[in-house]
Chain A
Amino acid sequence: MAIGKTANNASALSQKPSKSKLRREIARHRSVYLLALIPLVYYIIFKYVPIWNAQIAFKDFMAVRGVVGSEWIGLENFKTFVNSFYFWSLIRNTVMYSVGKLLISLPLSIILAICIYECTRPVLRKVVQTLAYLPHFLSWVIMYGILLALLAPGDGVVNDIIKLCGGHAVDFLSNVKTFPWVVLFSDAWKEMGWSAIIFIAALMGIDVSLFEAAMVEGANSWQRVRYITLPAILPVIVTVLILKLGTILDAGFNQIFMLYSPQVYSVADIIDTWVYRQGLLEFEFGLATAVGLFKGVFGMILVLFANWLSKKITDSSLF
């Protein structure tokens, strides 16, 4: 009996420590858990609770009847979106800007981060860093003013230079050939510094002795970047890439909304600007939600796919 009791106690002990250990761990790191509570509550209130309202994507939403009381209409809202005269044009433009921004901004951010990290003069490094971060804090309204001053066909600085060289003025903001480049490069200019922060943080984590050893072995700067820096920050690059794929159908509403005009609709109108005009201004909240849901599901599929692919090829993945 005594032996049995002891055996029971032993089995209980084998389970108990894990629970108490968890409690001890939580108690020990309570400050960290407390900090984590803030974003957790944020996500619950602003991200998870609203999922309940996503049902209006399948309803003819009437505000007086509320979310629950509105009539179910199946996939009608999705059909309206897919049958839009400009559906494929919207998808093409949205993907074009998302992928374009990824292809231009990401490498530029990495290059900037490496340059800042490699810079040996602290004052210069701080000045460059500050100047690179600054545009992130400007709104697109102000950015539009700056772009107009630079690119206006009548008296923009760039066109003044073109005319000085004997060329003809180009209306960069109203020309379908130039507008996409304005969008891509103005976004890169605005966000490059800010996006570089995460890569600078990753660079800070590289063991300095690796660089010292490489220098002893006679590696030049480019070789150090190629064989030490880039492989070291590869997991961060993959993580950023995967996260960005999740929002591939978010091409930057604020930017496009400020910059676009009817003359460039064909290359500027994206899903979000269409939703703004057709969904929000026309009180079609069901339609707007349906498009949001469509974007979310599409993004999630891409994230899962990219994560799988990354695991397969680089052995590095987000989850």
Chain B
Amino acid sequence: MKKFKSILMIALVVLMALPMFASGSRETAKAAAGTPEDPVTIDLWFGAAVTEAGMIPDDWVGYEIIRNKLGIDLNLTMLPSNESDQDVRIQAAGAANSLPDLFMVRRPVLTNLVKQGLVAQVDDCFDKMPVRTAQQYDANSIAHTTINGHVYGFASPGAIARNEGLLIRKDWLDNLGLEVPMTIDELIEVARAFTFNDPDGNGRNDTYGYGAFVETDATLKGYPGSRLWPIMGAYGVEGLWCFDSENAGLNIYKPEFYDFMVTLKAMCDEGIIDPNWLSYKKDDFRAAWKQGRFGIMYEQNAAYAATANYAPFDANFPDGEWIVIDAVAGPEGHAAIGAYDMNYRIYAVSQKAADAGKLDKICELLEWMSSDEGYYLLGWGQEGVNYVIEDGIPVAGDLGDAAFTGPDGQVYTQLRNMVFYNGDVELASRYPTYVTEVSGKTMSALVTLREMQEKKWTSAIGSGTMPTPNADVQRYYDQSLAEFLTGARALTPENWQAFIDQFNAIGGEAWNASGVAKMQEDGLIH
């Protein structure tokens, strides 16, 4: 018994000491040959395509192919789905100088890492990946990751540009005998009718005109965010930055921004915007329109029309119908659905990996991913197991759960965003035409996308590369606008000017000046 206790004690002490060595061993000085027998290890932190699904299983055939064909031992790690969590994860790894060899990163974070000397320059890599470069990296994409004259990452096409739109409940319009609004005044009138005239005919005062939530970022979507863009568009102030030669700079400085604020404040005060809009998170907002709370909204094509997303609305309101409408015109004739930038997913190589001589192997890996073999394997899985080809398009067929759309098969496509470039095959496969279960409507997120893209948009290309303000300036900007809207601060011309003056004083003017300089430097002004 005594001996047993002693052994137990030693085992416990050893176990407790283990975390001290958790940082792992240092890489050996001898570089791997990069052959199947002596493969180069590449650690890849990627953004999962299906965030709610699990990790790629260990039995994925891709590991074997990559090892045998490229001499690479691929170690995959899924990044958190939330962008802030991703940023924290990457920055924390950066602070510890333990970034992986290849990792997905957002541009503001990339800028920080470059300043720290943690990211490798990849200017010479594009020639080593002719197929992938032709498919994914055009001049805009390369400019997106160019910092101080050098390229610090591979920017692949991300979300499709202009994939959101202004939608209105056509069944509510019909019930109330209203026309599709063409101007901001008509839109407000319709919103008023949707709020007070019982558009769903249920006898209850439970509907609102416009629905939204606060969706912002520090480069493209300034406060109050993109969900209000169609209203901002009527005043020509959609987007955080204006790239017009006459008014280049932050939109907040335009007099029309104040007019927009007055309109939005009046809508809030009258109660024709869902009053929950300031409290909603994205999921709450999406649950709300499916429950029939409001009749006008700005929504993304797939979030609205994809099979699983439309199904709850279809079940709740079989006679309900949303239609995509044109941007409404403002008092001066401005109209825009919103502002758009090119969206990219950036993959960067750590300086550590470059120093270890892994850059060429990383190029080989990326080039293989864009070959036919890699493209279909990463995009849809194995033919006959996870997809079948019909009319040149990979489809689920009768493959059941193992299909790339099924619960078992979708995990094999977690890397698909590393190869997709929004080509026709991908879109046709991703957004198939279908018939809704309850109402029997024919729906297609692809048709909706094309409809949304045809509407009037304002180019804000380059927004993603614009400088971001420090936390105090950002807070002052967001907080002040929010206070005007909630009535915590009276929205008067005097107060507005006082806000602008203080904003300038704490760093807003310098932020604007650096942004304008960046626009000029990159030739973004049009």
Contacts and interface: CB of A to CB of B under 8 A. Distances in A.
A85 B508 CA distance: 13
Nearest to A62: B116
A262 B20 contact: no
B112 interface: yes
B526 interface: no
Contacts of A281: 84, 87-88, 91, 108-109, 471
B235 interface: no
Given A261-B214, A280-B91, A174 B471 contact: no
Interface in B262-295: 274-276, 278-279, 281, 284, 293
A212 interface: no
B223 A262 contact: yes
Nearest to B352: A64
Interface string A189-223: 00000000000000000000000000000000000
Contacts of A277: 471, 474-475
A283 B19 contact: no
Interface string A22-41: 00000000100010011001
Nearest to B478: A262
B117 A62 contact: yes
Interface in B355-384: none
A283 B115 contact: yes
A64 B120 CA distance: 12
A80 to B, nearest CB: 10
A169 interface: yes
Interface string B107-119: 0110011011110
B479 interface: yes
A152 B276 contact: yes
B152 to A, nearest CB: 14
B472 interface: yes
B16 interface: yes
A45 B19 contact: yes
A166 to B, nearest CB: 15
A169 B275 contact: yes
B97 A66 contact: yes
Contacts of B279: 148, 152-153, 171, 173-174, 261
Interface string A117-158: 000000000000000000000000000100010001111000
Interface stretch (B175-183, B243-251, B433-441, B481-489): B481-489
B154 interface: no
A64 B275 contact: no
Contacts of B116: 62-64, 283
A168 to B, nearest CB: 10
Which interface class (under 10, 10 to 19, 20 to 34, 35 or more) fits A?
Answer: 35 or more
Contacts of B13: 37
A41 B17 contact: yes
A37 B16 contact: yes
A278 B470 contact: yes
A276 to B, nearest CB: 8
Contacts of B476: 85
A263 B224 CA distance: 10
B53 interface: no
Nearest to A66: B97
A63 B478 contact: no
Nearest to A263: B482
A85 to B, nearest CB: 4
Interface in B15-73: 16-17, 19-20
B351 interface: yes
B80 interface: no
Contact of B112 (A86, A173, A266, A283): A283
Contacts of B482: 174, 261-265
B9 interface: yes
Interface string A166-195: 000101011110000000000000000000
Nearest to A147: B279
Nearest to A283: B112
A264 B472 CA distance: 15
Interface string A52-75: 000000000111101000000000
A283 B108 CA distance: 10
B105 to A, nearest CB: 12
Interface in B102-132: 108-109, 112-113, 115-118
B486 A263 contact: yes
B478 A265 contact: yes
B399 to A, nearest CB: 35
Interface string A250-285: 000000000001111110010000100110111101
B470 A266 contact: no
B308 interface: no
Contact of A174 (B16, B108, B486): B486
A175 B279 CA distance: 10
A54 to B, nearest CB: 14
Given A153-B275, A154-B274, 19 more contacts: A41-B17, A62-B117, A63-B117, A152-B276, A153-B279, A154-B276, A174-B279, A262-B214, A262-B481, A263-B488, A265-B475, A265-B482, A274-B471, A277-B474, A280-B88, A281-B108, A281-B471, A282-B471, A283-B113
Interface of B: 9, 12-13, 16-17, 19-20, 84, 87-88, 91, 94-97, 108-109, 112-113, 115-118, 206, 208, 214, 223, 274-276, 278-279, 281, 284, 293, 351, 470-472, 474-476, 478-479, 481-483, 485-486, 488, 506
21 contacts: A37-B16, A38-B12, A41-B17, A86-B475, A152-B279, A153-B276, A173-B278, A261-B214, A262-B214, A262-B223, A262-B478, A262-B481, A263-B482, A263-B486, A263-B488, A264-B482, A265-B482, A277-B474, A281-B91, A282-B470, A285-B95
